[in-house]
């Protein structure tokens, strides 16, 4: 029994000391006299509580409560039950203001660091984006040669984005254009943190579930993945169709909330502005830019996803030691120097390049032109530094254009050495077996 009492006393002593330390940290910097008074009062409080603590055979949880009152703040530690009650009394979160933060690697908003709050008191904030730099960044050297080389490597090398990207629904001219725009938005909302193949399959699942039986499907031009059908569908039905994509439960709620907003505020159509699109739940700047480009045909900005963010930093387009931290920062800095006619094509170009050659893990640098000291490409238009000759075949010979070449890649020479060692081991084993 004495051990239990000593253990309980130690726990209470640690709790009181911890609260005193928190109070001292909160009042730190208010002046030397305030600090001295705080220390004296805190010590007196601790002694009083330790002396008044009752160490019976069954100490009650309420004896571990402590309240510290200071000149600036009042901190009260409560039991788990009261904390649970406070959480239940918190106001409901408005889905219209939520962002798909880890999802959307595409949740790419510039926001100030929020003050620390409890989970019960955290309030949803509207999305805020920075549209341009205060001072534009100069264009990196040889960026156009690099861009043309990537175009050359993409020829004859199909990537998932080519057939299953967000542009694919708009090519289905048999269905109504308003339905195509909505499908484009849906595919982008499902695409964050998800491969193109999985996103495409999820969209097709939704279209198949909403389609009526063949005997009732008499109009081949009619599309059933529409705003009214999403509104009338249950959340369980939507979840069953998209449960392979990342964060599918959250995205199912986003789809329902988005359909409600579109029906109420836009007569079933999707917004035709970046501001309107970003006001939808789960839609960030990347999705808004790609929706404007593909659904409305308006080139208002660059859609930067993880591939574009990763590759532009690998290419050193922002300078050594000045790499961007988020896709949104990448977008702002790219738009400060990239000509507007490249805003649209740069996304599918670099996404396909990232899916086939410049992969996130073990990039195929031995297959990349940018890792060579010299290469030739077919060229149209004006040239840049390091390129010789006119239109047609252009020779580039300024050394590797990618500063990240062979850093963490498969590496051609290194791979050959490994294979050679394996062959030598096999030959030695065969030789030993023959001798025996």
For residues 312 and 318, the answer to whether their CB atoms sit within 8 Å is yes
Length of the chain (residues): 436
**Strand order in 375-379's β-sheet?**
375-379, 392-396, 387-388
Summarize the confidence of residues 74-92 as an average pLDDT. Answer: 41
* C-alpha–C-alpha distance, residues 187 and 202, integer Å: 8
The tokens 């929020």 sit on which residue?
A: 114
Q: Which residues of 43-60 are buried (b: 16+ CB within 10 A; e: fewer)?
A: eebbeebeeebeeeeebe
- Over residues 136-162, the pLDDT tens digits come to 889 998 899 999 999 999 998 999 999
In this structure, what token pair is assigned to residue 103?
Answer: 């999802």
| Confidence band of 213 (pLDDT split at 50, 70, 90) | confident
- The percent of residues above 70 in pLDDT, for the chain, comes to 58
Measured CA distances, 116 to 67, 84, 119, 316, 368 (Å): 21, 19, 9, 36, 46
Mean pLDDT, to the nearest integer, of 263-268?
96
Active-site amino acid positions: 286
387-388 and 375-379 beta bridge pairing = unpaired
Q: How far apart are CA 37 and CA 411, in angstroms?
A: 66
The dihedral formed by the CA atoms of 324, 329, 335 and 341, expressed in degrees to the nearest 10: 90
Q: For the whole prediction, is pTM greater than 0.75? A: no
Start-end of H helices in 266-371: 274-278, 285-294, 306-314, 327-335, 346-356
* Cβ neighbours, 10 Å, residue 172: 13
Confidence of residue 60 (pLDDT cuts 50, 70, 90): very low
Lowest mean pLDDT, pick from 170-184, 307-321, 381-395? 381-395
pLDDT value of residue 212: 85
Task: Note the pLDDT of residue 321.
Answer: 87
pLDDT per position as a tens digit, 101-115: 444 444 343 344 444
């Amino acid at each position: 029994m004495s051990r239990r009492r000593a253990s309980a006393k130690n726990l209470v002593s640690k709790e009181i000391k911890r609260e005193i330390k928190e109070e001292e940290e909160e009042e730190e910097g208010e002046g030397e006299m305030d600090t001295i008074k705080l220390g004296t009062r805190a010590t007196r409080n601790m002694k009083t509580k330790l002396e008044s603590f009752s160490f019976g055979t069954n100490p009650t949880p309420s004896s571990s409560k402590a309240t510290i009152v200071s000149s600036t703040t009042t901190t009260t530690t409560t039991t788990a039950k009261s904390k649970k009650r406070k959480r239940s009394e918190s106001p409901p979160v408005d889905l219209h203001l939520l962002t798909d933060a880890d999802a959307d690697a595409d949740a790419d908003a510039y926001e100030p660091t929020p003050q620390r709050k409890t989970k019960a008191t955290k309030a949803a904030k509207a999305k805020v984006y920075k549209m341009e730099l205060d001072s534009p960044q100069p264009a990196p050297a040889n960026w156009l040669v690099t861009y043309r080389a990537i175009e050359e490597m993409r020829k004859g090398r199909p990537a998932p984005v080519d057939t299953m990207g967000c542009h694919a629904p708009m090519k289905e001219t048999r269905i109504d254009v308003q339905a195509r725009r909505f499908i484009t938005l849906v595919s982008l909302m499902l695409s964050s943190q998800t491969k193109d193949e999985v996103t495409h399959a999820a969209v097709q699942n939704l279209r198949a579930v909403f389609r009526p039986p063949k005997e009732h499907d008499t109009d081949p031009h009619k599309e059933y993945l529409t705003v009214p059908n999403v509104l009338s569908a249950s959340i369980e039905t939507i979840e069953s169709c998209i449960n392979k994509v990342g964060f599918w439960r959250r995205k199912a709620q986003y789809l329902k909330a988005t359909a409600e907003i579109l029906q109420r505020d836009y007569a079933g159509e999707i917004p035709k502005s970046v501001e309107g699109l970003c006001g939808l739940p789960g839609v960030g700047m990347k999705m808004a830019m790609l929706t404007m480009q593909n659904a409305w045909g308006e080139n208002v900005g660059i859609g930067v996803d993880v591939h574009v963010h990763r590759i532009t930093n690998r290419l050193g387009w922002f300078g050594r030691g000045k790499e961007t931290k988020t896709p949104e920062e990448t977008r702002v800095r790219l738009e400060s120097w990239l000509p507007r006619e490249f805003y649209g094509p740069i996304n599918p170009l670099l996404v396909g390049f990232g899916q086939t050659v410049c992969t996130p893990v073990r990039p195929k640098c031995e297959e990349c032109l940018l890792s060579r000291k010299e290469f030739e490409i077919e060229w149209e238009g004006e040239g840049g530094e390091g390129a010789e000759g006119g239109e047609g075949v252009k020779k580039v010979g300024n050394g590797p254009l990618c500063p990240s070449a062979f850093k963490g890649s498969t590496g051609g020479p290194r791979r050959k050495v490994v294979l050679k060692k394996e062959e030598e081991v096999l030959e030695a084993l065969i030789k030993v077996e023959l001798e025996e």
